Structure 1
Amino acid sequence: MEKMSNIIDYVRRMKDVPFEIAPLNEIDSLIFSQLAYLDYSLLPTKESYSFLEIYNSNLVPLLVKRTWNAENNSLLFSEISTSTRFRSIKVHEVINLISESEETQFSAVTFELSNNHYFLSFRGTTSTFVGWKEDLNMSYLTIIPSQKSAADYLERIHDKFGGKYYLGGHSKGGTLAVFAAVFTKREINENIIKVFNHDGPGIHSSLHSSDQFRKTRNRIQKIVPEASVVGIMLEEERDFSIIKSSAWSILQHDPYTWLINEDKFLRTPSTTRFSNYTQRTISSWVSAIDEETKRNSLASLYEITKSMETTYLADAVEQWPKNIKILITGVKYADKGIRKDWGIVTKTLIEVSMKEGTQSIKRIHG
């Protein structure tokens, strides 16, 4: 049996095949989505760079330093920089915004392909506390700030370059790509070829009934691994492709574990029981708690994490003895009303988990 490959193997295999011969496909879209995680804002100021120029700058180790999978990201960039298919692609209009006051983390980059075609890639959640807080805010906000930023970014790029567009992203980046495409101006929407959501949460269910969503829906391709946890969150629909991964459980969220056969992901008929259980549990949990309780409990926990005086989760873990004390102290001296909200959230999660677990067992045994 032929060994299945991942996106790095794909780049190696396609290195001498230009986009004029083999047009952009779902694997290319994941590569561009993954490349959005690199911090191009660290490059010297310049209107644009090719991938080859960036690689030759010797700054790639710095660009991948804060990413989730720095080793593979570095290897991927090394491969595309020597690939005829990718090396001449230009990087434009890098934006990287983090605002604790607005609880938003937004980053995007435009890749110029050829013939007036562009790929707008939106970054997923990074290892920042504010990024995770914004993600959690999706449980009670119809629209989060970075979604508005994504729509604004698309409009600005279209006004500057014109042309035709692909939009994509991994994790929250996929959600941003969908929102930007759906809630942009009609004339811009008509210039969008396709939107790729790689294991990103759904947009708020109330937005699905909009005319904008309906007219864009057939150009949205959502892809989730079979044990998806992130991608099935807040997702009311099941209109997505399910693919195989070499990893287990939540680790399947890593794009480097997604299996490829030729120029397509390796499909599978359905998500796993674990994924289905997680989707039902999270959906029931979120809907069972009122908006104010969700808002207050999240806000209070976030305030405690801010006492750690660090931006990144990895730094907080590295200094765990000090930060554990901060967390314990914060919980111990929290307002009585806040502790009550935490209790409601925790109790509801336990109750919903047990209920969904019991129902899952009944489904298995008929």
Structure 2
Amino acid sequence: MAGNLIDYVKWRGDLGFTERPFNDVDALVLATLSYIDLVGFTPNEASGGTVEVREALGELMERSGGDVAPYVRSLATIDARYIDAVAKSRRFGRLHIGRYVDVMDYDNAVQFAAVEVMLPPNSVEGCGKGVRFVSFRGTDLTIAGWREDFMLSFEVTGAQKLAAEYLDRALRAAVAAGEPLMAGGHSKGGNLASFAVASAVPSLAKNVLRCYSFDGPGLDERVVVHDARDVIGGRFVRYQPAYSVIGQLFDRAEEPRAYVASTGSGMLQHDPLTWQVSSSDLILADGLDPDAATFDAALDEWMEPVDMGERERFTNEFFDILGAGGPKLTDVTSREGLPKVMSAANGASDQTKRLVWKLVECVVAKQAARTSDVVRKAYEGVVQSARDAASGLAVSFPRRQLHAE
């Protein structure tokens, strides 16, 4: 039986964690909580205290009148049905949350948010104590969000520094209470979780029961030497959809990960609400989609030999081009946006141009394969143009050995 996160909350919603212990799907649900704007609904870190999930989300639903879009800080398809299901479920609704932090600094390009969830004793198999889960907010599918992910290639970002500081405080509080802690997040949230755990004082890192990265970018070894796996070993858990691009960024190929089946098309598989789940686990795919691997290899081939300054220049050039199509990633291959992107790329460097064409080819081909014959024919010329532009520039790219478990 396959479904999505909404189905899972309904399937497991009437069962508490003492009846059905915490699993990786639960971790994904908690990772999505930080995507919801909880300002005014959840106690912040400075004030202290906690509130039940059902109270916080119930008040949000009432205030929003059912239009929750202004409260969702992600292009993931988190809607009123999902929020209402989580709030009303016995499994998640009765959990307590607090220590909410939400920082947006436009001048310094810093976006950071996190919330702590309190799991009752005996929630996690083999652990009789209560367990705390720190959920780090990720980015969205806007061009600006992607730009922020690529900034990870040449500097330690402000959000990473805030995540490390937040986790340090959370770990100290957890140790004082005699409780272990888990951390996790989706997209950039997974990267923040890994960076924060890797930055933790060794004596505190021992208290990390698990760290989850759900399609989160890796930590580039030229910027950050160690990641969570170097600190907590197999307690660092990675999941990516079959068509993973964000999660393959700055990848450490030796790290185990599992690929999840998704109902999404192409890069829209990044949306966790498209991931397929059973009543107790994530449903796995055979591996990384070949089209995603091609784009990933093209990015690797360009990024590996260049210095930090060149990576910064490339990031600005690349995303200025994509942004010509519109503010969203899906605008890149729209009928209105694609000609603008291709025009903006004309004056770019060969390396940047090649990556843009590869992105266009992969996305358009994926969309065309899922559309009607009429729409497919309209795309055929664009696909051929992208292939012609890429021909001779990147006939074959180095592939990294990927591991799945």
Specify the TM-score bucket, using the shorter chain as the normaliser: 0.7 to 0.9
Deviation at 1:136, TM superposition (A): 2.0
- 1:64/1:187 CA distance change after superposition, 3 Å: farther
Q: Which residue of 2 aligns with 1:124?
A: 138
Task: For 2:149, give the aligned amino acid.
Answer: D
> For 1:59, what is the secondary structure of its paired residue?
helix
Q: Secondary structure at the match of 2:114?
A: strand
State the Cα distance separating 1:98 from its structure 2 match: 1.5
Partner of 1:334: none
* Map of 1:104 onto structure 2: 110
**Between 7-16 and 206-215, the greater mean CA deviation after superposition:** 206-215
Kept in 2: contact 1:285–1:348 (CA 8 A): no
The answer to whether the 8 A contact 1:5-1:259 is kept is yes
Distance in 2 of aligned mates of 1:131 and 1:350: 17
Deviation at 1:293? 3.0
Q: Mean alpha-carbon deviation: is it higher for 131-140 or for 161-170? A: 131-140
CA distance in 2, matches of 1:356, 1:218: 39
Residues 279 and 287 of structure 1: is their aligned pair in 2 closer, same or farther, counting only changes over 3 Å? Answer: same
Task: Give the drift of 1:164.
Answer: 1.0
What SS is found at the alignment partner of 2:90? coil
Would you say 1:91 and 2:97 are equivalent positions?
yes
Task: Verify the 8 A CA contact 2:174 2:180 in the aligned structure 1.
Answer: no
Q: Which amino acid aligns with 2:56?
A: I
- Residue matched to 1:363: none
SS of the equivalent of 1:283 reads helix
Counterpart for residue 50 of structure 1:
52
Please identify, of 40-49 and 93-102, the stretch whose mean Cα deviation from structure 2 is larger. 40-49
Q: Secondary structure at the match of 1:197?
A: strand
Asked if structure 1 preserves the Cα contact closer than 8 Å seen for 2:77 and 2:271, the reply is no
* Residue from 54, 59, 63 that aligns with 1:59: 63
Shift in Å, 1:153: 0.4
**Is the contact between residue 124 and residue 170 of structure 1 (CA under 8 Å) also seen in structure 2?**
yes
State the shift of 1:236 in Å. Answer: 2.3
- Partner AA of 2:172 in structure 1: D
CA distance in 2, matches of 1:255, 1:161: 28
Give the letter for the 1:239 counterpart: P
Name the residue aligned to 2:161. 148
Which residue identity lines up with residue 75 of structure 1 in the other structure? Answer: R
Gaps of 5+ in 2: 122-129, 332-336, 359-389, 398-405
CA RMSD, aligned part only?
Answer: 3.4
Counterpart-to-counterpart distance in 2, 1:229 and 1:71: 18
C-alpha change, 1:232 and 1:304, in structure 2 (3 Å) is closer
Q: CA deviation at 1:197?
A: 0.6
Distance change (3 Å), C-alpha of 1:167 and 1:62: farther
Say if 2:211 and 2:228, in contact at 8 Å, map to a contact too: no
Secondary structure, aligned partner of 2:304: helix
Task: Name the structure 2 match of 1:159.
Answer: 172
Match in the other structure for 1:187: 203
The 1-side partners of 2:5 and 2:107 are apart by 37
Look up the match of 1:358.
395
In structure 2, C-alpha distance between the alignment counterparts of 1:357 and 1:302, rounded to whole Å: 20
Correspondence for 1:235: 251
Deviation at 1:8, TM superposition (A): 0.8
Cα deviation 1:178-233 (Å, max 9, x = unaligned): 11112101122111111111011111124786497423131111001111111111
User: For 1:150-190, what per-residue CA distance to the aligned partner results, in whole angstroms no more than 9, with x for missing partners?
Assistant: 11101112233432111110001011111111210112211
Give the AA of the match of 1:359.
Answer: S
Aligned length: 334
Q: Contact 1:33–1:122 at 8 Å: present in 2 too? A: yes
Q: 2:11 aligns with which of 6, 13, 26?
A: 13
Whole-angstrom CA distance in 2 between matches of 1:180 and 1:146:
10
Q: CA–CA distance in 2 between the matches of 1:63 and 1:298?
A: 33
2:82 to 76, 81, 95: 76
Q: Is the 8 A contact 1:104 1:131 kept in 2?
A: no
Percent identical residues:
24
Query: Closer, same or farther in 2 for the Cα pair 1:25/1:212, shift >3 Å?
Result: closer
* 1:231-310 equivalences in 2 (<5 Å): 231-237=247-253, 238-296=255-313, 298=315
Q: Which runs of 5+ in 1 are unaligned?
A: 307-311, 318-323, 332-338, 361-366
Q: Any idea what the Cα deviations from partners look like across 1:228-277, whole Å, max 9, x if unmatched?
A: 11111110225110111112210111111111122111112321111211
The 1-side partners of 2:63 and 2:174 are apart by 27
